[in-house]
Amino acid sequence: MSLKTTAFTSDSSEEDGLLRARIDDACQLCEWRSCPRFVGFLDEHRQAVARAVLRERGEQNFCFFGGYDDAERTFLGVFPSYTEPDTAAFPLTSIVFRYRTAAALSHRDFLGTLLSLGLKREKIGDILCNSGQTVVFVSEDLAEYIVESVTKVGGEGVTAETPFTGTLNVERQFNEWQDTVASARLDAVLKTALRTSREEASRRIAAGLVSLNHMPCLSASHAVSEQDVLSVRGGGRFVVEQIGPSTKKGRLFIKIKQYI
Bridge pairing between strands 215-216 and 229-232: unpaired
- Domains of the chain in start order, with CATH, are 5-89 (3.30.1370.160), 92-161 (3.30.70.330), 174-259 (3.10.290.10)
Distance, CA of 228 to CA of 251 (rounded, Å): 19
The model's pTM: 0.77
Question: Does the pLDDT value for residue 38 go beyond 60?
Answer: yes
pLDDT the model gives residue 14: 83
45-65 pLDDT, tens digit per residue, is 999 999 999 999 999 999 999
pLDDT the model gives residue 7: 43
pLDDT the model gives residue 247: 92
